[in-house]
Amino acid sequence: MAQNTNCALSIDALLRRNGVRYATVQPGRAQAGVGHGTLGSQRGQVARVLLLADARGYALAVIPKNRHLDLAALESEFGRRFRLAGADEAEHLFPGLPLRALPPICSCGQVDTYLEQSLVQLSDVFLETPDPRVMVRLDGESFRRLFYGAWCGQISHASAEARASAGARRLRQ
């Protein structure tokens, strides 16, 4: 795993470099669900970026913030046996960027990106930035363009909280 790669382009620089349209938003009381993974079921989803590692090197996984990464699904679908990489590894690849705000694709092109397929169907996707008071909003078309060529599959599962919430809704209907 001796990749000596610096992938540290900020999200802003990465999006500009790729010609992707985006807007910045400041999550406030009107968008209280932001911290919990959604900005309203019709508007979009907050995506989180996770750094993964295996014997072949590093990769990024982009999944909905309110879901859990399914490492077994990644191995089954893509044949790679990943583990979550540590903060020290993230600092090596993305100097100065906090672990919670890694860019969704690596600017150096040497790190594969694995995308949760449910994200490509959304009308809006929100990405966290190094500033916790600001998020980046991508419309669905821009999001899909950014991830053109990325590996895509069902690589996450609902958190226990989301399953309980979904169950409660079914009972009331």
How far CA 165 is from CA of 73, 124, 160, 161, 168, in Å, comes to 23, 22, 9, 6, 5
Whole-model pTM above 0.85? no
- How far is Cα 140 from Cα 130, in angstroms, rounded to an integer? 22
Q: Is 17 left (phi over 0), alpha (psi -120 to 50) or beta?
A: alpha
Q: What are the sequence ranges of the domains in the chain?
A: 11-172
**Which tens digits make up the pLDDT trace of 68-83?**
999 999 999 999 999 9
The residues that bridge with 73 in the sheet, in sequence order, are: none
Amino acid 30: pLDDT: 44
CATH code matching the domain that covers 11-172, chosen among 3.40.50.300, 3.20.20.210, 3.90.960.10, 3.30.365.10: 3.90.960.10
